[in-house]
Amino acid sequence: MEEIFILIAEDDADDRFLLQAAFEENGFKDRLQFVENGVEVMDYLNNLIENKEENTQLPRFILLDLNMPKKDGREVLKELKQHSELKKIPVVIFSTTNNEHEMRRCYELGANSYITKPHNFESLIKTVAALRSYWMHANDIPASAHNN
């Protein structure tokens, strides 16, 4: 079975810990790569592409916080969706911001999904399970459907 690789951009250490724990609680053995700000997201992905070997794997999807230092999630999203290779990676916004205008803006920039962070760990466990289940089969969905 193919290893699932997920890139998670989250500046809050507690949220990173809780996300890791939620994946483990669900029994997922995915490779989670955490970065702490938007600059790190782009540096990490650009390094993957520049050093790409045959077995180099891009993330199945990116879990992207909006409010990060150095370069926020909106800037990263816009940059990702303008990049010839990186635009294919589904981007799931994962933010405390629960504002309809902000959600619409993210979809206009190319977000594939927008999830408001749950308020408790039990809800986070369920959210992670649903999120992973959906995007695990992302390769089965035509690429054009990801950007609708």
Alpha carbon of residue 83 to chain centroid:
16
Tens-binned pLDDT, residue by residue, of the chain (148 aa): 456 788 999 999 999 999 999 988 888 877 889 999 999 999 999 888 887 765 568 888 899 998 888 888 899 999 999 988 888 889 999 988 888 998 999 999 999 989 989 989 988 889 888 888 777 765 544 443 444 3
Q: How high is the pLDDT of residue 86?
A: 87
What phi-psi label fits residue 58: left (phi over 0), alpha (psi between -120 and 50 degrees) or beta? Answer: beta
Q: Give the per-residue pLDDT at 140.
A: 47
pLDDT at 17: 94
**Hey, where are the domains in the chain?**
5-146
Rounded to two decimals, the pTM is 0.84
Cβ atoms 125, 22 nearer than 8 A:
yes
Residue with tokens 């649903």: 130
Q: Please say whether the structural domain 5-146 has been given the CATH code 3.40.50.2300.
A: yes
